[in-house]
Structure 1
Amino acid sequence: MTLVGEAAQRTVTFAGKQYPAEELARGAAYELYLDGPEPGALPNPRPGARHPFRMFVHSSEVPGAEPFDAPLTIPLSRTMSWEGVQRLSQTPGGDVRAVRESATIKPGTRMIKPLSTSQVGAYLRQGALPHGCCYREHDIAHLRTPADLRFLGVDDEDAVYALRWRAIGPEDYEIARLPGVMELPPHERVGPPLLGTGFAPSNKHLVPEFVTADLAELPLPAFSELIAYLPDGTEVTLFHFVPEQKAWSRMAGPQWRRLLAPIDADQEFIPVPDTFARLVGCYQGEVQEAVADPPGEYRLLAKTRAARYPVESLARRDVRGRWRGVDVLIVGAENDWLRVRLIRPDSDSIVRIGARPAERCVYEAWAPGSELTDVREHQTPYRLSW
């Protein structure tokens, strides 16, 4: 082993050549160090770096890699190549089920959701929670620049913001197949189209696409992060979520003010309001608010360490109801008005409640609270032992 700064190096093979490299995202990708420019290489921004260039590659291209999460697998066939699978993934009705089902989520799987600057503000101050379209970090860990990530619907040349969190379990996620959204005309959608194959639309990448179950909001696990990716491939951690304080704690130093200014986030500590979605756990027969620290720690939410008892069971609760004959999630409130989200958006339900696209696949409206019926708490239990 040799050292570059504080990071340990190893030697890996890529495209038949050996490179000094660092493992990224628990083995999902590698940062290769190059002595000269090669196709796909970026300048190494580290001051005084021994190797002036670097390149990011996926673990599937590195022999012997052992990532934390399950890689995509393609059934062997004389007629099926990677290019063939990628082409089918972009064809509505293309049969790529065997490949898509190999992209699994388990407790601790790190998920990522690219965000616009306005969406970052909603997570910081308005209590927004993970919802809608998202991806396994494993599948996009090698895509580290705004240009790389543009196909996911983010279009900013200076930086791409994202939310990263760890999955509590597969119960919270579905393959991105929403027939009602797929049938909508382009002027009623935002962002890239939903293909229905379970893969993101791209003529270059094969990226499994997920949505949160019922488009619901997922309570943030401990140490969720708001991050940014720069044009040189640098990843910057901007904020960590501290559940005991119900607040975001700033991690980025003053050198990253240019990333904090667009999201108006100069504070060291930003409290977030209470949300309709929350985690609850059972301890000695009592149900109390809980916090998840996947893959193995689930406990009562408490500010003092002595009171952070491990829970015997864990569930996610949200609030649902019906408005104008349509099933909706309640995700916000202001005075006597409720912000509601369609659970299964389609053309008819969108028109019926006057919903607008809040983001890709997500349709919301404001409803008078007095008009909602069948308002209830909905509970999704988690399996804690695997």
Structure 2
Amino acid sequence: MSLSSQPHRLPTAGSDIWVSLDGSTHPAEEIARGAAYEVLSAEPAPGFEPVRRPDARLPFHRYVHVSDLSAVRGGTGGADLDAPLMAPVGRHRNWAELHQLSQRPASATDPVLTAVRASAVVRRGTPMVKVLSARQLAGFVQGWLPYGFCYREYDVAHLRTSTDLAVLRTDPDPGRDDPDVTYALRWRAIDPVDYQVPTAQAQPGLVTMPPHDRMGPAVLGTGFTPSGRHLIPEFATRDLADLPMPANAALVAYPASGEEVVLYTFRPEQRGWLRMAGPRWRHLLAAVPGVSPDQEYLPVGETPSTRLVGEHQGAEYEAVADLPGGFRVLAMTTAARFPVDRVHRRTRFVLWRGARCVALRSDANWIRVRLCRPDPDNVPALGAQCYERGVYEAWAPVAEIADDQTVDIRYPAED
């Protein structure tokens, strides 16, 4: 038997949204299809802050995850939401105690904590989020793909300010950024096989990495991100590899006022990012190096390090994930965008001095590699550099590369 914090759904009356929080009822605005709510108040109250938007309905607000509400009326009804964290029923542990366990590496094998972590799963089409610095945002508009540490949107939808989102950053140098804006990449997971929980069993080297060889907070090995307040399950791309960019992925900004501003959306047929932000929001891009706020379209220059491939009537085509709709041929014309089946991700792996790596790009004499299982021994031995939390890369001489192979990671067909 399990206990979930999902709120009771009140009967809908009209289009307004009302929520019950700490024994009081408030009007609210839905976030992320009902994963969180902006709760509004006409009077100051504990946890509420002044609204910094001129068009606000009421002068005070706070952002609250749906699991912290006792009742919700109106909105989408939480349609298409991912499964919440669930815990075995018991008298001796509450959520505060579970949070404390999640922050202790020694508790990684605690059966209750393990059961809670296992309840957070990625499914096909799950919205995923990676919080970015300005430097990382510039990298994605220039062709980076989803990789490394990330989160389900469902679990972090209530984090809307730079202060709250700081706990999710993988680049820990905020001094170079505008303190009043944080960026993120949002995309839909193509398949659960692309993700792993960064536990002590899956990534033992990251858990034991010394402070001088890592960037950002330590990997605890419990499957939860280091946080003084929140119980947030974390994920990493499998082998820390790049994943294909799905159609309609978005680069978004969170200014100090708490809105979510969509800056760009990914258009796979054009192989680039289409600007969505109007003149009101152009200033949010001022701190992004190498990006002009007035540029309407940003083409992706580099050949992707990993590709999505599908089959149709026995022939192989480059494909695109257009979720939740499915998979189709990557083609400029609508008539040629027919569905494909037997879809797989094609990624190049190499062995360098005994370490398995993802090959990112290469020239005649060198290959850029990312370590699949970085640890305190192979990182210094290979001269690999930490570029963000959990991600270690280096240039490897071609002459030292062994077992160079392109691997097809097949996605299972859904029933």
Determine the structure 2 residue equivalent to 1:136.
Answer: 152
Contact 2:145 2:244 in 1 (8 A): yes
Aligned twin of 1:90: 103
Contact (CA 8 Å) 1:43, 1:232: kept in 2 or not?
Answer: no
- 8 Å Cα contact 1:147/1:231 also seen in 2: no
> Structure 2 residue aligned with 1:108, among 118, 125, 134?
125
In the alignment, structure 1 residue 281 sits paired with structure 2 residue 310? yes
Which residue, out of 292, 300, 305, partners 1:265?
292
Q: C-alpha separation between the residues in 2 aligned to 1:306 and 1:327? A: 41
Q: Which amino acid aligns with 1:148?
A: D
* Pairing 1:302–2:309 present: no
Is 1:223 equivalent to 2:223 in the alignment?
no
How far apart are 1:41 and its partner, in Å? 2.2
2:163 matched residue in structure 1 = 147
- Match for 1:375 among 392, 399, 404? 404
Separation (CA, whole Å) in 1 of partners of 2:394 and 2:360: 10
Q: Partner residue of 2:83?
A: 70
Q: How far off its partner does 1:46 sit? A: 4.1
Q: 2:244·2:308 contact (CA, 8 Å) conserved in 1?
A: yes
Aligned residue number for residue 240 of structure 1: 265
User: Are 2:255 and 2:284, in contact at CA under 8 Å, matched by a contact in 1?
Assistant: no
Q: Cα offset for 1:363?
A: 0.5
Separation of aligned partners in 2, 1:46 and 1:259: 15
Equivalent-residue separation in structure 2 for 1:255 and 1:124 (angstroms): 20
Aligned residues of 1:11 and 1:21 also touching (Cα < 8 A):
yes
1:171 is aligned with what amino acid? Answer: V
Choose from 340, 344, 349 the match for 2:369: 340
Code of the residue aligned with 1:269 in structure 2: it is Y
Q: In structure 2, what is the Cα distance between the partners aligned to 1:225 and 1:88?
A: 34
Q: Which moved more, 1:158-167 or 1:264-273?
A: 264-273
The structure 2 residue matched to 1:254, chosen from 279, 292, 298, is 279
- 1:99, 1:230 → 2: CA distance? 32
> 2:87 aligns to what SS in structure 1?
coil
* Letter aligned with residue 240 of structure 1: T
| Equivalent position SS for 2:331 | coil
Instruction: Please identify, of 309-318 and 64-73, the stretch whose mean Cα deviation from structure 2 is larger.
Output: 64-73
The residue identity in structure 1 corresponding to 2:118 is: E
> Is the alpha carbon distance of 1:43 and 1:335 closer, same or farther for their aligned partners in structure 2, counting shifts above 3 Å?
farther
Tell me, which stretches of 5 or more residues in structure 1 are unaligned?
A: none
| Residue 121 (structure 1) aligned to one of 110, 134, 138 | 138
- In the alignment, does 2:28 pair up with 1:18? no
Q: Which runs of 5+ in 2 are unaligned?
A: 1-11
- Could you tell me how far apart the structure 2 residues matched to 1:257 and 1:130 are? 24
**Contact conserved, 1:35 with 1:53, CA < 8 A, in 2?**
yes
**Structure 1 residue 334: deviation in Å?**
5.0
Measure the CA separation in 1 of the matches of 2:221 and 2:284.
34
| Aligned residues between the structures | 381
Equivalent of residue 58 in structure 2, options 51, 64, 72: 51
Write the distance in 2 (CA, Å) between the matches of 1:298 and 1:63: 39
Q: Distance in 2 between matches of 1:76 and 1:134?
A: 29
Query: Partners of 1:106 and 1:342 in 2: how far apart?
Result: 26
- 1:11 offset after TM fit, Å? 1.3
Structure 1 match to 2:41 = 34
In 2, the alpha carbon distance for the partners of 1:282 and 1:367 equals: 34
Question: Offset of 1:284 from its aligned partner?
Answer: 0.5
Structure 1 SS opposite 2:287 = helix
Q: Contact 2:53 / 2:257 at 8 angstroms: preserved in 1?
A: no
Preserved contact between residue 210 and residue 376 of structure 2 (Cα < 8 Å): no
Question: CA shift at 1:170, angstroms?
Answer: 0.7
State TM-score, norm by structure 2. 0.88
Amino acid at match of 2:238: A
In 2, distance between residues paired with 1:213 and 1:59? Answer: 29
Residue 343 (structure 2) aligned to one of 314, 324, 349: 314
Contact 1:42–1:55 (8 Å) recurs in 2: yes
Are 1:152 and 1:192, in contact at CA under 8 Å, matched by a contact in 2?
no
Q: Deviations over 1:213-268 (max 9, x none)?
A: 11011111110011111222111111100011110011111222221121123211
Q: 1:2: Cα distance to partner?
A: 9.3
| Bigger mean CA deviation after superposition, 331-340 or 344-353 | 331-340
Structure 1 334/159 Cα, relative in aligned 2: closer, same or farther at 3 Å? farther
Do 2:318 and 2:330's aligned partners in 1 also have CA atoms closer than 8 Å?
yes
Q: 2:212 aligns with which of 187, 200, 205?
A: 187
Taking structure 1 as the reference length, the TM-score comes to: 0.94
Counterpart residue type for residue 372 of structure 1 = I
| 1:353-372 correspondence to structure 2 within 5 Å | 353-372=382-401
Tell me, in whole angstroms, the C-alpha distance in 2 between the residues paired with 1:119 and 1:162.
9
Is the alpha carbon distance of 1:320 and 1:18 closer, same or farther for their aligned partners in structure 2, counting shifts above 3 Å? same
Q: Name the SS of the counterpart of 1:203 in structure 2.
A: coil
Which letter does structure 1 place at the counterpart of 2:256?
P
* Identity across matched positions, percent: 48
RMSD of the TM alignment (CA)? 1.7
Give the distance between the partners of 2:57 and 2:330, measured in 1 at CA.
46
Deviation at 1:69, TM superposition (A): 0.6
